[in-house]
Structure formats: C-alpha cells, structure tokens
Chains A and B, each alone.
Chain A
C-alpha cells in the first residue's frame, strides 16, 4: 500500500499564494476598472475617543417627502461636534430626537469631541461618504472649490427662520460666492480675562476695548515673577490658541495673512509682523509671560489663570464657565474685556450634497434654530459667554444682563483667520494645524533665530501653501 499523500507546507503555500495573487489581481482590476469619484484614506494614528451614538426609530406617519425623495423610511445621519458644556450637548440631542419623533424619521446621531469629528469628517469627505448633516465642518475643504464642493446652500433655511434676525457676519463666515453653506449656531470670541481685584489694588482703570499695548503696560505694573505671578498669561506653545491670540495681536498692529487668494497676495513679511513678534519676544524675555508658556497645550493659559498665576489671559469664556463651577470667588473677580480686533470662531450646521433627504435635513435644522427661547436658555446663557448668540433678538435680551452686556453681540465684531474678508480659506485651514506662526515664534525664542529670518521662513511657508491652492 502506498504511503498516503499529504499536502506539504510548500505545496499549500504555493496554492495559497496563487489564490491570494488571483484575489489581489481581480481586486485591483475591479478597483481600476470601476470609475470612482473619491477614494478612501487610512488615517495614521487617528485618536479613538468616546462616541455617543443615539439612534431612534420612531413609529408614526412620516412627513410627506418631496418628489425627489427615495421611497422607504427616511433616515438621516448626523454628526455633532461636542463641547465641554454638557447641557449644550444634551439639548441638541434632545431637540434632534424630538424632531425625529414628530416627523417619524430615523436619525442616527453621533456626538463627537472636536479632535475626533475633525479626523472623521476629513476622512469621510475624502471617501465621499459624509453624514447627511454635521455640526461643524472643515468648510473650506468641503465648499471652497466648486469642483469639489460637497455642501448644499442653506440660504433657504436662513430665510425660513428669518434672515433679518441673524447677524450678517455670522452668515458671512460660512458663505462662498454669496451663498451660505453654514447655518450658524454660536460664536466663540476670544476675550481678555482680567483680574479685577489686582486692578483695584493697583488703582488701574481698564476700558473696553483694551489694546495689546495697553495690556502690556498694565502687565508691567503688576508683574511679579519672583512670586510666580505674571502680567500676561499668553500661550506660546504648540497649540491653536497661540495662533488665535497672535491673530488678535497682529491685527491690532495692522497685519493680515493675505490680500488676495494667491501666492503673491500673502502678507506675512510686513512691518506689522515684525512689531507683533517684537512685542511677544520682549514680553517673554522680560518675563511678563510665564517661561513655561512655550510648552503649554491649549489649556495652558486656562490653567495659568485659574491657578492664579496670570493677571490676564486671552481665551474664549470657557474659563468663566470653569470658574463659576469651581472657583466662584475668582469668577467674581474677573473682568471680561475685548481687544480692538477680536478673533473667534463661528460654528454651525452644514448639509451635505450626498444627503438623500435634503428637505428633511433642512427641516431638522430649522426646527432646532427656530426655537429661540430654548436656544437662549439652554445653549447660550448657561455657557456664560463661551457661546455668543447669532441672533440680534437674543443679543438684545442678553444685553439687559450686566454680565452679558459687553459681549452679547460679539458676533458682530469677531473675525476669522481670513480677516478682513472673513470667508473660508483652504490655505489658512492648512496653515493653522501646521502651527507655522507658533514655529516662527519658537524659532526665535528657543533657537535664537534672527527675527527677520524667522519671518521670512513663515512667509515662504504660507506662500507655498497659497501657491498650492490658488496659484501664483
């Protein structure tokens, strides 16, 4: 009897390789044969954090859908940016699900922290598979170029709610070529947070707006580094707040990133830039700014103020929210004042072109934003200034409250990075996360590089980015 034959490892490997190779070839052929508009990207190192997903399936008669709507039960996918304000997140969730129940629509809602929604939306946009609605979006990436535009205009929703009640700048920051692609929800201005008790002790009067030059004068009078108390709690670390604070300072000196969207329109190399850099370098060297500010994260200036190390910091009013909860004494001792040119972000909803039920999506947004009473009571007021209203009527009401009076209408004079045009700009969206401004400052402060050389470097970086997006 012959020895029973076995399949050897080598034979099996040959078979396996043949099958895998066939699979790969067939897969690759299919991939290249089928025309695609978009492709998938594997995101290296994408962080995974808590995701709240709520899905509701509601029985009932669905809202009559427009003729273009596909048959079957309507379903919307929504991704909302979470804030640190728990009430805020809860309100938006409740309101969305309330609408879903009333309309008999299934809504799959994910509420995601900013870092996650940023990575997730970027990947989803590239894959051509975005949600139907999102609260926050990389606007320039999704809408600036007509050939790759993924968003639907929302002017009809704005008109339905009442355009006249919206502050114009709130709409403008999300508009391209005269069409609104973002339905604004709140504005997040950067304000001076100043220790009232120290001002009183030193007999110093402060009026709004407080210029950076005046702030430095005050800082000099109160500075006490020997006791770990600093006049300016300004961050210089590798984080977005450094660039945001820089914007306010630089704009006060007359700076701006560009005059036209082209490589030749970049205006980093300017007298204003040199003056703003000199201001910071001088303040840092004279220890008006804490020495460790150069390694702070985005919460560094918050911690500096809350920890009693800083006389004044510039930040959205998230600091006030934290103080109100944890240190009411310091909350009462804090004065909120504007700089002459205010930086801030305006966040809002967008609807994607890929949405199968655009009318329903817009109806949901109108439903959330039409309820102005709840908007004021549940989104705006509890935020203590972190979220400023985009409605004139709400701002007028809030102005009656002394705390809110100075900044209830902040959206009117708050600017985006693309100041003074205040429109989405792809090149600035790219430059921001690359921390070019921060690196320019750190080259001078850490590496001792010449100021002009560092400015030249930053200018060239911006020119290269603008050239990539808009040409010469």
Chain B
C-alpha cells in the first residue's frame, strides 16, 4: 500500500497530467504534422503526395534558402545587440532616483505594447520618401533626404524598427535585474574605494548577467522569426535585400500554395531556434 505522501504526490502529478497532455499535444502535434508534411508535396486544397526528401533537396539546392538564412542572421544579431545596448542604457538611467522617473518608465515601454503591425505601419509612413516624417525633418534642416527602404538601406531601416519596438523588453528585464542588486554591496564597494565603473563592472554586471542572457536569447529567437514588420515594410525586397526566412516560408505557402515545401523550410530553420532554446534551458537550470 502506498504511503500518504506518495499518494498525495501521485495525485498531484495526476492532476497536472491533463494539462501536460494538452500542452504536449498542442506542441507536439503541429511539430509532428509539419515534419510529416515536409516529406510530401501538399498543394492547398489537394491531398498530400509523398515525395521523400525531395523538398529538402530542392530547398538546399536553392539559392533563396541561403540568402534567406544570411539575411535573417544579418537582421537578427545587430538588432539584438542594439536592443541590448539601448535597453541596458535606459535601465541604468531609469534606475536612478529623479523626478518623473515613473512617467519615463511608463513611456519607455510604449513601443513594446503597441501591436507589431501598428508599429510597422507607423514606420512605413515615417520612411516614406516624399511624405515621411524623417525626410520632412531632413528637408527642413536643409539636409539631403534619404531613401530609407532602398536596396542599400532597407536592412538598416528594418533593424531600426525592430530595435524601436523591442528594446523596452530588454529595458524591463534589466531594470528588474538592477533592482535586485543589494544596495549594501554597492555601498561596501564604494567604501572600499571602487569607482562607478568598477562598481558597475564587478558588482552590478554579475547580478544582471543572467537576465541579460535570458532576454538576449529570447530576443534572438523572436527576432529571427520576425515576419510582420518585414512583410509590411519591404516584402523581402527590393530585389532580395530583405528576404529573411519567415518571408520566404510565407511566400512558399501563400504564393506557391505548397504546404509541404513550406513545412520543410520551417523544419530546416528549427535547429537555429533549438540551439538558442537549449541555451535558455541551460541557463534557467543554473
């Protein structure tokens, strides 16, 4: 006969099992279905036809996949780095005591709470060559206007939008990390003669480092999967200048109507995300 604690703990586990089962199904079913589909040609509205690894061969032989991957990397890492720098800087400033700090903190998270398509449309107008706010400002200052979404500038312009929308996430995370730094430790460091930079380097940073890791990794995964901003602003163009993988997957599904190939593309992008998810899980275990 089972003892009471064992019974109790078993009941507890049994009670959470339905939720676990549902969650697993919600996660596993689409994954397995997408994997299964990736071995088929599946035109929308038609039954799937088994084609083995043909979709994978086609994708790996196609230039677009490598362009998409390269563009995704070019988009993701600078954007995450800039968000980190901006978020950290702002968090350090707004962690200080001063009048209006609460309002500033609230304002700082506005870009984060705006829906992504609203942000994209706002920036679409900002970037407009003739009527956009940025060029109007440049003109009024007597400076040459810029073609923000040209082949040469489009990636930088898209990164700016992503940074603007995403830096508050870093700010909020790092700010909460900063608030956990014990004041007496900072005071002790001051008494010991540590400069502001040294206190930051040897006391603050070690405390907020786990937060920085987590928000950065999450942001890498999200930014890598960003679709809406790029689709609304450039549709992957001009040419293939902003053809990131999510745009390529979308085009494969909704232009080619080929769900099998789109699934294969998605599966091929997964190792990247899984690697960063693995890092997050490892960090969370520490």
Interface hub of B130, B231, B259 (most chain A Cβ within 10 A): B130
Instruction: Write the chain A residue with the least CB distance to B115.
Output: A48
- Which of A49, A307, A442 is in CB contact (< 8 Å) with B131? A307
Q: Mark A287-301, 1 if CB is under 8 A from B, else 0.
A: 000111011010000
Is there a chain B Cβ closer than 8 Å to A208's Cβ? no
User: What is the count of residue pairs linking A and B with beta-carbon distances less than 8 angstroms?
Assistant: 152
Assess A12 versus B238: contact at CB under 8 Å? Given A125-B45, A141-B257, A307-B130.
Answer: no
Within the complex, what minimum Cβ distance (angstroms) separates B117 from chain A? 6
B213 touches A (CB below 8 Å)? no
Q: Which residues of A contact B89 (CB under 8 A)?
A: none
* Contact of B93 with A by CB under 8 A: no
Q: Are A44 and B256 in contact (CB under 8 A)?
A: no
Residue in contact with B21 in the complex, picked from A23, A42, A443, A447, CB distance below 8 Å: A23
Contact for A295 among B25, B45, B238, B262, CB less than 8 A? B238
Across-interface contacts of A316 in B (CB, < 8 A):
none
Proximity bits, A154-167, B CB within 8 Å = 1, else 0: 00000000000000
Complex interface: stretch among A217-225, A387-395, A427-435: A427-435
Beta-carbon contacts under 8 Å, B129-172 to A: 129-131, 147, 149-151, 154
Interface residues of B in 1-28 (CB under 8 A from A): 2-6, 9-10, 13, 17, 20-21, 24-25, 28
Cα distance A44–B246 in the bound complex, in angstroms:
8
Report if A90 contacts B (CB, 8 A).
no
- A residues near B256, Cβ cutoff 8 Å: 430, 434
| Residue pair B234, A295 in contact (C-beta under 8 Å) | yes
User: Is B239's beta carbon under 8 Å from chain A?
Assistant: yes
Stretch of B29-37, B102-110, B196-204 with 4 or more beta carbons under 8 angstroms from chain A: B29-37
Q: Are B254 and A16 in contact (CB under 8 A)?
A: no
Distance of B38 from chain A, by nearest CB (Å):
12
Chain A residue at minimum C-beta to C-beta distance from B31: A42
Contacts of B266 in A (CB 8 A): 44
Q: Which of the residues A309, A435, A443 comes within 8 Å of B235, measured between beta carbons?
A: A435
In the bound complex, residues from chain B placing their C-beta under 8 Å from that of A27 are 25, 29
| A45 B25 Cβ-Cβ under 8 A | no
Closest residue of chain B to A239 (Cβ to Cβ) is B235
Known: A238-B234, A292-B147. A12 touches B13 (CB 8 A): yes
Q: Is B281 an interface residue (CB 8 A)?
A: no
Docked Cα-Cα span, A41 to B9, in Å, equals: 39
Q: Is B68 an interface residue (CB 8 A)?
A: no
Tell me how far the C-beta of A45 lies from the nearest C-beta in chain B, rounded to whole angstroms.
3
Quote the shortest CB–CB distance from A331 to chain B (angstroms). Answer: 18
| B226: min CB distance to chain A, Å | 9
Cα distance A304–B233 when bound, in Å? 17
- Of chain A, the residue at the smallest CB distance from B269 is A44
Point out the residues of chain A lying under 8 angstroms from B13, CB to CB: 7, 12, 15-16
Q: Are A38 and B234 in contact (CB-based, < 8 A)? A: no
Chain B, interface SS category: helix
Number of interface residues of A (CB under 8 A): 60
Task: Say yes or no: A294 contacts B150, CB within 8 Å.
Answer: yes
B residues less than 8 Å from A434 (CB atoms): 251, 255-256
Chain B residues closer than 8 Å to A150, beta-carbon distance: 45
Docked pose: A45 CA to B225 CA in angstroms: 9
Contact B231 A45 (CB under 8 A): yes
- Please indicate the chain B residues that have their CB under 8 angstroms from the CB of A20 in the complex: 20-21, 24, 28
Q: Tell me how many residues of B have a C-beta within 8 Å of chain A.
A: 60
Contact (Cβ within 8 A) B259 A126? yes
Is B253's CB under 8 angstroms from A43's CB?
A: yes
Q: How far is the CB of A64 from chain B (nearest CB, A)?
A: 34
Q: Is B250 an interface residue (CB 8 A)?
A: yes
Closest approach, in angstroms, between the C-beta of B237 and any C-beta of chain A?
Answer: 3
| Chain A contacts for B151, CB-based, 8 A | 294-295, 446
> In the bound complex, do residue A294 and residue B238 qualify as a contact, i.e. CB atoms below 8 Å apart?
yes
| Distance between Cα atoms of A272 and B2 in the complex (Å) | 85
Partner of B6, one of A6, A28, A238, A290: A6
Contact B253 A295 (CB under 8 A): no
Residue of A whose beta carbon sits closest to that of B265: A44
Interface presence of A453 (CB below 8 A): no
Q: A6-B9, A141-B257, A295-B147 are in contact. Are A442 and B239 (CB under 8 A)?
A: yes
- Pairwise interchain contact B3-A5, C-beta atoms closer than 8 A: yes
**CB of A380 within 8 A of chain B?**
no
User: Which residues of B, 245-286, contact A by the 8 Å Cβ criterion?
Assistant: 246, 249-251, 253-257, 259, 262, 266
Judged by a CB distance under 8 angstroms, whether B47 is at the interface is yes
| Complex Cα gap A49–B262 (Å) | 23
3 smallest beta-carbon distances between A and B, as pairs: A238-B237, A45-B227, A433-B255
Known contacts A20-B20, A297-B232; can you find 20 more A-B pairs with CB under 8 A?
A: A4-B6, A7-B9, A7-B10, A24-B32, A27-B29, A42-B33, A45-B231, A118-B254, A122-B44, A126-B45, A238-B237, A292-B129, A303-B128, A303-B131, A304-B130, A432-B255, A433-B255, A434-B255, A435-B237, A443-B239
A and B contact pairs by CB, cutoff 8 A, 25 listed: A4-B4, A5-B6, A16-B17, A19-B21, A20-B20, A20-B21, A28-B32, A41-B37, A41-B42, A41-B253, A42-B30, A44-B227, A45-B246, A45-B250, A47-B231, A148-B45, A238-B236, A292-B149, A294-B238, A295-B147, A303-B128, A303-B131, A430-B255, A434-B251, A442-B237
Residues of A bordering B, CB below 8 Å: 2, 4-7, 12, 15-16, 19-20, 23-24, 27-28, 37-45, 47-49, 118-119, 122, 125-126, 141-142, 148, 150, 228, 237-239, 290-292, 294-295, 297, 303-304, 307, 309, 430, 432-435, 438-439, 442-443, 446-447
